[in-house]
Amino acid sequence: MPLDRSSNRAARSMSPAQAERGRIRAREHKEHTAGLADGFVQANICILPKAWADEFLLYCQRNPKPCPLLSASDLGDPMLPELGSDIDIRTDVPAYCVFRDGVLVEEVDEITHLWRDDLVTFALGCSFSFESALLEAGIPLKHIDRGQSVSMYVTNVETARAGRFNGKLVVSMRPFNAANAIRAVQITSRFPRVHGAPVHLGDPSLIGIEDLGKPYLGIGTTDVADDELPVFWACGVTPHSAIQAARPPLCITHKPGHMLITDLLNTTLASF
């Protein structure tokens, strides 16, 4: 049986990120991206009209922990060359949410038909990258061990307003024993472009969380053992929440968990 050398060579020259993105673009993969293209940065996506994009850029600049901006596109350009040579944001995310006036109106698997010359794409860092660094350091993540979501909470901490965008900080929570909490601070401090160091640890009521057992959307691993502390990171749900409250006429985001897989390696985001 003859070996198809040309396609074999093409597959070999493709990185895992490019291969997965190709499957997503071909609509062969429409599910969540957790665990795909291990080692590569995955990004949260927000797409806004120009009339709202400048204020959102300023909101990210003022709130770098919940909104760590990896890349903003040129006006009307669907490509994201900072994140990969051939990324077309219209087709390269497995599932999108379309919001009109702050209300989710549909979920779609590509947005070519919705693209306009006045749209700007924002790609934000996501905690998958720092979780990968924690796991590589041998620090267990309870929600991953259990195959659950991380739990998130709306705090009483106001983000810094920029124009029409503002709102409360949303955090994710991971329980650790003290030694691993200290190491988690050290490790995630190296990754300011994917939320960075925790924003809080210990008593949840100090940031307005009254009941750890009642997470945002009602999902996630919430139990903290007697020898553990809850450790809280700024969460990428914060900007989505701010956008929904601001009610722009159009906003397109990735569907939660269905991220853009970029060509950046997680390790290249480490600041030292």
Q: Which stretch binds a second copy (CB under 8 A): 15-23, 41-49, 97-105, 197-205?
A: 197-205
- Altogether, the residues listed in the chain come to a count of 272
Cα 231 to Cα 228: distance, rounded to the nearest angstrom: 9
Nearer to a second copy (CB atom), residue 108 or residue 185: 185
Q: Does 227 bind a second copy (CB under 8 A)?
A: yes
Where helices occur in 44-140 by DSSP H, the ranges are: 50-62, 127-136
Single residue of 89, 126, 201, 259 touching a second copy by CB under 8 A = 201
Say whether residue 138 binds a second copy (CB under 8 A): no
Near a second copy by CB under 8 A: residue from 178, 217, 219, 245: 178
Q: Which of the ranges 65-73, 191-199, 235-243, 250-258 carries the binding residues for a second copy, by CB under 8 A?
A: 191-199
Binding mask 54-83 for a second copy (x = CB under 8 A): ------------------------------
Smallest gap from residue 195 Cβ to a second copy (A): 13
- Integer Cα distance of 118 and 116 in angstroms: 5
Q: State the number of binding residues for a second copy (CB under 8 A).
A: 19
Residue 117 lies near a second copy (rule: CB under 8 A): no
| Closest CB to a second copy among residues 108, 182 | 182
CA distances 115 to 35, 111, 159, 237, 258, Å, are: 29, 6, 30, 23, 19
Q: How far is the CB of 98 from a second copy (least distance, A)?
A: 37
Lookup: tokens for 175: 């329980």
Question: Which pair of tokens denotes residue 95?
Answer: 């599932």
Q: DSSP alpha helices (H): ranges in the chain?
A: 5-13, 16-25, 50-62, 127-136, 142-145, 178-189, 237-246
Q: Which is nearer to a second copy, 185 or 265 (CB)?
A: 185
The single-letter code of the amino acid at 75 is L
Q: For the chain, state the CA radius of gyration.
A: 19
The first and second tokens of residue 131, run together, are 């979780």
* Residue among 15, 189, 244, 267 that touches a second copy (CB under 8 A): 189
**Stretch in the footprint of a second copy (CB under 8 A) among 44-52, 137-145, 199-207, 237-245:** 199-207
Distances (CA, A) of 201 to 187, 224, 228: 15, 12, 10
- Closest approach of a second copy to the CB of residue 185, in Å: 4
Q: How far is the CB of 62 from a second copy (least distance, A)?
A: 18
The residue behind tokens 């030694």 is: 179
Residues between 19 and 48 with contacts to a second copy, criterion CB under 8 A: none
Q: Which of 198, 215, 236, 239 binds a second copy (CB under 8 A)?
A: 198
SS3 state at 173: strand
Task: Check: CB of residue 261 under 8 Å from CB of residue 40.
Answer: yes
Binding site for a second copy (CB under 8 A): 177-179, 181-182, 185-186, 189, 197-203, 206, 227, 229, 272
